[in-house]
A = this chain, B = another copy of it.
Amino acid sequence: MFTTNQVQAAPIRVSKSHLRSAQPQAVVINSGVANAVNGAQGESDAITMASETAALLSLSLEEVLVLSTGLIGVPLPIDKISKGLPQVVASLSDEGGIDAANAIMTTDTRPKHSVAATDDFAVGGIAKGSGMIHPALATMLAVVTTDYALVPDQASEFLQAAVESSFNRISVDGDTSTNDAVILLANGAAEAPRVDTEFESALQQVCRDLARQIVEDGEGATLLIEIRVSSAATDEDAVAIARQIATSSLVKTAAFGRDPNWGRVIAAAGTATSDRGPAKVDVDRLELSFNGTALFSNGQPTGGEPDMDTQVLKIDLDLGIGDAGASYLSTDLTREYVSINADYTT
């Protein structure tokens, strides 16, 4: 699954084209430069990166996917990459997952990895991402591997469902990158009989865990915000309202100040819009709580005083209309976030 941004980086375009003609066997990733909006040179550099990796691994060009993350509009230092690739390939090992998770970090402060295993198979993943994080997809890369047996073309079906409830439900700053990608590789080495519900559950667990790690490492974040919207009229409304709260600068700055400014949550909910139009909100029916303390109920403030001295701010909004719900993870908006992003290129 790749970014929905209409401006797609060269490695995304190259990887998509490779997927149309072969089953992927390897993924090569660089961090620091996104290789986006670099014109024909960008495309040629991405192909070089894939073809040199393919040669070193005795694969065909199309069996290699290529991903990049970092600064937009800066040429890929392809000579450096070419020089380093033999060393990278030589150091491949069964225990190398965490080294890879470390290598793909940009403004990340820690590597992100996760595993879920049953008696029959395992699902493991690495990811990077801490800024430009917004659903569909976040600015993030994730590679998930499994020894579960999938037939060609089945991976995207399983992945789509898992991504919808994980990477597509997180927001750090509302920006969607040109380079986002989540890749699932399955080799069937487990040789166990398939139980798809177990695989779905393990895949979802790994994706959710990685997504949560990305938000927890959100640029400059001091707090995780867990938003739960319930009793919405429709699923679309629930997601739209959760997203509007998750991306509100005013909700996020108040969270940074540990300020129980719940009015901003209601104000954000009131402006949410999905593809189908404004999400239904009736102020007389909604119930809002922070960290379990009711703040608004029966159309008026309760006077409750929530405990704000926590590492996670749980915002629960019950709309009292229907029975749809959605969750979202976000972070606070801090002075440090501004500092990190004010001085990124210069």
Give A contacts to B, CB under 8 Å. 4-8, 34, 36-41, 71-73, 131-132, 173-178, 247-250, 253-254, 256-264, 266-271, 278, 280-281, 283, 296, 298-301, 333-335, 337-346
Contact = CB atoms under 8 A, between A and B. Distances in A.
A16 to B, nearest CB: 15
B176 A250 contact: no
A342 B296 contact: no
Nearest to A284: B39
Contacts of A72: 261, 263-264, 266-267
A256 to B, nearest CB: 5
Q: Is the interface of A mostly helix, strand, loop or mixed?
A: loop
7 contacts: A6-B271, A7-B270, A37-B300, A39-B298, A72-B267, A257-B344, A333-B338
A37 B266 contact: yes
B73 A6 contact: no
Contact of A270 (B40, B178, B247, B345): B178
Contacts of A256: 338, 342
The 4 A-B pairs of least Cβ separation, nearest first, read: A72-B263, A257-B342, A39-B300, A7-B270
Most B-side CB within 10 Å, residue of A40, A177, A269? A177
B257 A341 contact: yes
Nearest to A340: B253
A247 B56 CA distance: 45
B264 A175 contact: yes
A343 B38 contact: no
A267 B263 CA distance: 32
Given A73-B296, A278-B6, A342-B253, A301 B271 contact: no
Copies in the complex: 2
Contacts of A340: 253
Contacts of A266: 7, 37, 72-73, 178
Most B-side CB within 10 Å, residue of A259, A267, A335? A267
A256 B340 CA distance: 11
Contacts of A248: 174-175
B249 A341 contact: yes
B175 A301 contact: no
A338 B264 contact: no
A89 to B, nearest CB: 30
A249 B252 CA distance: 12
Contacts of A262: 73
Given A36-B263, A175-B250, A300-B39, A271 B4 contact: yes
Given A72-B267, A73-B266, 15 more contacts: A37-B263, A37-B301, A39-B299, A72-B261, A132-B250, A132-B267, A175-B248, A249-B249, A253-B338, A256-B338, A256-B342, A257-B343, A257-B344, A259-B344, A334-B338
A264 B36 CA distance: 11
Given A4-B271, A7-B283, A73-B301, A174 B36 contact: no
A285 to B, nearest CB: 12
Contacts of A174: 174, 247-249
Nearest to A256: B342
A88 B146 CA distance: 73
